[in-house]
Every structure is written in C-alpha cells, then in structure tokens.
Amino acid sequence: MRFTLPEIRRASLTSMVGIEARRFAKHPLFVIGVLAAYGVAVWASTLDTATSGGEVHVEGVLAHPIVPAFFIGLTSLVVAASLTRSTDVAAEAMGTAPGSEARRTLAVAGACVVPLVAGLGWLAELFVIVAVRGTHPNELWFPTVNDGYVWCILLALGPVSCLGGGLLGVLVGRWLRFRGAAVVAVVVVVAVDMLGQMPYAYDDDRASFRLWVPWAMFHAGGATEEELNGIPAYSQALLPGNPAWYLVYLLVLCALAVVGAIWHDRGARTPRVRLVAVGLLVAAIGCFLLAALTGISDVVISGPIDQAG
C-alpha cells in the first residue's frame, strides 16, 4: 500500500498527539488534580445537601462544575505548559526537531483531549451522585429554565473549562519563558475571573456582561434574614445571560488559544492562519455579545428555601 505525503504527515501528527496524550495522562500533577476533583465531588455531596420529606438531596447542582474547572483545568494549564516547553528541549537535545514548532504545538494541543475526557468523567460522576441522592425539589433553576440551559452550564464550566485550561497552558508554554510562568498564569486567571465578575454580579442592568471571563457563574445563593422551622433559610439566584452562546464563546476562546500558540512559529504565520485568527476573534466578540444580550435578562431570586423540608 502506498501512502501520499499528506497521509504520512497526518499519521505522524497523530502519533505525536498519542505520545503527548500519554505523557499528559501520566503526569503526577494532572493525576492529583483529577483525583482531587473526583474526591471533592463525593465529599461535597455529603455537605452540600438539604432534606425534604425526610430524604436527603444534593443542593446547588449548578455550583458544582467549578470543581473540575479548578482542580483539573488549572493543573492542566501547568502540565500543558510544561509539556510544550519540553518538546523544544527534546528537539534541541536530539539536534533535529520532530516536525516544525507548529506541529509540536498542535501535538500538545491535541493531547488536551485528556483533561476534556477527565472533565466529562467528572460530569458523569455528578450525574451518578444526583441519580442516587436526587436534587432538592426547591432548587430554583430546575422549574425556571429548561434542560438545555442546565446542560450548557454544566458543559461550559466543567469539561470545556478543563479543555480550555490545557490549551491556555499550551499558549503560555509557547510565549512565556520565565521560570514559574505557568504558576503566574494560574494566579492571574483566578484573580481575573473572580474580580471580573464582582462589579456585575447582582446589577440587573449589567450582570450579563460578566460573561467575558472564562468561568462565569450562572447562579448564586446564600443565607437570608428569615428563618423557616427555626433554622436559617437560604435563597438562590439565577444570573442573566445565555449559557448556550457562552458555551460557544468558550469553545471559540479554546480555538484562539491554539492559533495564538501556533502563531509563535514564524514559519506558520501564513495568510490562511491570519485569516483564521481574525475570524475567530470576530466570532469571540460576537458570541460574547449574544451571550450577554440574550437569554435571561434579569437576576431571578427565589424566596427563602426551607432546608429542613
């Protein structure tokens, strides 16, 4: 059987992705992050609960996706940055590079399917927990929004954020060369995400514009001044915005991270790559505006929820 040059190149890139994916999955920091995310999900299900009719139910389901984003997404950022730099070190040691820098970048970016799969596995774990324990019947979001709304939030803040963490790590690994760059990036991402949402969280007129950050929450909750059955009650809030367009926005940001990392290779800065970069940038702005200007338009706050059932 005779292979054409493009087929040989595809096979080579596929092999490179496989090698990097195995390195990613075996990296101790990534393993620790995954185990932490899965373990915290079980632990949180025993704490974040409420009773109704004598049965215990999982409460605040839409708060849970931040767990894989934090433990898997952030560790994946550090791991992907390390793998990206190590491919160049190996190439220099051998004297010849296994493909161009752009191809090595694509290989590590392809390996970021590993944190994506880990995020999907965590989501499956959440479904098992909810199936066993159920959700509290007074959860605000379930009678207020449709299943697609909930699905988009779970996917955006869970598996897609895990993928995005890894791809951001590839971008960091390509462009930032100082010691501890990945750790600095982790701190900056967390700070920007938290501070970027604070000015808008409960402002009905501007709340949806918090969606420019990578981990924008769509829910909030806390104690009220009222009591039910002699114990403090809680309220829940749905924040404005369209999670479907937000999900697409995050996917476009993921693609932009890949193109930005490839852009470091001067030889890869072709007219087609330039066009793709501009197109993705325009798409990101458009998706953000659609996410911010459509969907639920006001903050929806529940009445006090009886935690004792």
Residues 6+ apart with CB under 8 A from 186: 74, 77, 78
pLDDT score at 45: 72
Is residue 225 domain-resident? no
Domain boundaries, position 111 = 5-219+230-301
Q: What is the sign of the dihedral through the CA atoms of 283, 285, 289 and 292? A: positive
Q: If you average pLDDT over every residue of the chain, what do you get? A: 82
pLDDT confidence band for 230 (50 / 70 / 90): very low
Question: Residue 107 is encoded by which pair of tokens?
Answer: 């290989």
The model's pTM: 0.86
Q: Is residue 261 part of a domain?
A: yes
Domain count, the chain: 1
Q: Is 306 inside any structural domain?
A: no
pLDDT at 233 over 90: no
At residue 55, the pLDDT reads 54
Closest to 189 (Cα-Cα) out of 63, 81, 103: 81
What are the start-end ranges of the E strands in the chain? 49-52, 55-58, 219-228, 231-238, 300-301
308, part of any domain: no
Structural domain includes residue 307 = no
- Check residue 163 and give its pLDDT: 97
Within-domain flag for 32? yes
Instruction: Give the model's pLDDT for residue 198.
Output: 76
Query: Above pLDDT 90, what percent of the chain?
Result: 50
| Terminal Cα distance for the chain, rounded | 69
| Any domain includes 19 | yes
Q: 84 in a domain, yes or no?
A: yes
